[in-house]
Amino acid sequence: MSAPVSVVVHGDTATLVAAAAARFVTTVTDLQSSGAVPHVVLTGGTTGIGMLEELRRSPARAAVDWSRLHVWFGDERHLPDGDPERNETKARAALLDHVDVDPAHLHGVAPAGSPHGGTPEEAAAAYAEELRRHRRPGDRLEVPRFDVAVLGMGPDGHVASLFPEHPGLHATGTVTGVRGAPKPPPERVSLTFAALRAATEVWFPVAGEDKAAVAAMALGGAGERQVPAAGAYGSRRTLWLLDRAAASRLPGGLARPASP
């Protein structure tokens, strides 16, 4: 990993999710108060969705000008619009349908069966084009420089829909269609490593004992073929937000508790 990596360990999942939500509010409001219209990447992972639910409940969500925020997805399941298993559906239910996000700034992946969503590859190509169109002055890649990418990590170390030893790891460009994913559904659309690395900050809210071994590997120097999450890092910072269970196997010195 080339970017600085920070690890913050919280006593339990509820504290982790609340702290991540607070961090999101602070980060976005700081950017907005400097005149920026931030671009954020969201995930359908359990802990990331937990953060969105926490934001919905929190009075602090009113501090964010939701109309001045672009929302993208790190990956999507190739399913019809509104399917409860789609990451967009989950993020909408958790938060996005409850705040004033400008519909033109809510960038969902084309659902299966929609005009641009015939196949995962077609949906990926359409998303790549949408990303390209939203580059900002000075952006070097074919995507807008995401201010924050909130990602998740599977127990096998996958990130977005980039799975260990899977062809998507080698995808060129910014978005790839995925087939045969080991986690259902098999057909997916995912940002590539190159696109994820366009983020200024990457956050990994990760909770639970089942993530402990792979978190230790990701933070202990594993390669991205084995633990893809290790290959998703921000240009300025990568921040692992763990609960005590997920941090339980980290090498000594990496896990400094932030909360009891």
Ligand X SMILES: O=C(O)[C@H](O)[C@@H](O)[C@H](O)[C@H](O)COP(=O)(O)O
Binding site for ligand X (CB under 6 A): 43-47, 74-75, 77, 87, 152-154, 158-160, 183
Q: How far is the CB of 46 from ligand X (least distance, A)?
A: 3
Cβ proximity to ligand X: between 70 and 188 the closer is: 188
CA–CA gap between residue 106 and residue 213 (Å, rounded): 35
Q: How far is the CB of 169 from ligand X (least distance, A)?
A: 14
- For the record, the structure tokens of 251 come out as 């090498």
Cβ proximity to ligand X: between 153 and 175 the closer is: 153
Cβ proximity to ligand X: between 153 and 212 the closer is: 153
Q: How far is the CB of 73 from ligand X (least distance, A)?
A: 8
Closest CA to 38 of 66, 5, 2: 66
Q: How far is the CB of 16 from ligand X (least distance, A)?
A: 12
Q: Would you tell me the crossing angle of helices 87-94 and 46-57 to the nearest 10 degrees?
A: 20
Cβ proximity to ligand X: between 31 and 241 the closer is: 241
| Bond preceding residue 111 cis, omega within 30 of 0 | no
Cβ proximity to ligand X: between 160 and 216 the closer is: 160
For residue 228, the tally of other CB atoms under 10 A from its CB is 29
Q: How far is the CB of 77 from ligand X (least distance, A)?
A: 6
CA–CA distances in Å: residue 190 to residues 73, 162, 172, 194, 237: 8, 7, 12, 11, 21
- Provide the β-strand partners of residue 240: 7, 204
Cβ proximity to ligand X: between 31 and 162 the closer is: 162
Q: How far is the CB of 11 from ligand X (least distance, A)?
A: 19
- Closest-by-Cβ residue to ligand X is 152
